[in-house]
Amino acid sequence: MDKEINNILLKYDYALEILKVEISYLIKEYELKHNYNPVEHIKTRIKTIDSITNKLNKKGYELNLENIQKYIHDVIGIRIICSFLSDVYDIVNLIKNFKHIIVVEEKNYIINPKNSGYTSYHLIIKMPIYLNNSIEHIEAEIQIRTVAMDFWASLDHKIQYKFSSFIPEEVKKEMYNYAVDIKNLDCKMLELNKMMTKYKE
């Protein structure tokens, strides 16, 4: 069992390297076309065995190869941090239109935030990798958000960790209000960017 799981994690690791190269290519191509790079930075990760096990347990499944492939869609995680709100949608469209990527699921938490106030754009994708003269399709989750959204999400993660199972209502309310403030800030920064672009012209 351990050998099988280590083998599939090796495949995920390989797929992540390919996906990083493909996304980097898309961004560079965009930059050449528009003379502008919409991405501040990119974060990547592979879920650990402990994290995979915990997620499967929460869903009511045991750790095995079949359950990982069937129920865990974010073993590979990529987070793309953009400067402006419009950049988020530009990157989403780049990924959705890339011929080597199949979008399985998308969730626009920018238009429909989570109850906590969390905002981001999520894509679950499948991508082909070539191994031992065969093609396998590996899933990954791509999150695209602004710098402001990422700041809020990082703070929210720390709060979740600090309070574990119970977060006081007062803290929840304040975090939600901050999420609204950040969304308004993103909109204002977008308008400022449009103004700067206009003056450049």
72-106 residue pLDDT tens: 999 999 999 999 999 999 999 999 999 889 999 99
- With beta carbons less than 8 A apart as the criterion, state whether 142 and 103 touch: no
CATH number for position 72:
3.30.460.10
Q: Classify residue 126: in a domain, yes or no.
A: yes
Whether 138 is in a domain gets the answer yes
Q: Structural domain tally of the chain?
A: 1
199 in any annotated domain: no
**Domain annotation covers residue 92:** yes
Q: Is residue 168 part of a domain?
A: no
- Identify the domain containing residue 82 by its residue range: 2-152
Q: Which of 48-52, 148-152, 164-168 has the lowest mean pLDDT?
A: 164-168
* 31-75 pLDDT, tens digit each: 999 999 999 999 999 999 999 999 999 999 999 888 998 999 999
Judge whether 4 counts as a catalytic residue: no
Domain membership flag for residue 189:
no
DSSP string, 110-154: TTS--TT----EEEEEEEEEEETTEEEEEEEEEEEEEHHHHHHHH
Catalytic residue among 141, 169, 170, 201: 141
Confirm whether 63 is domain-assigned: yes
The answer to the question of residue 32 being in a domain is yes
Position 178 pLDDT exceeds 70? yes
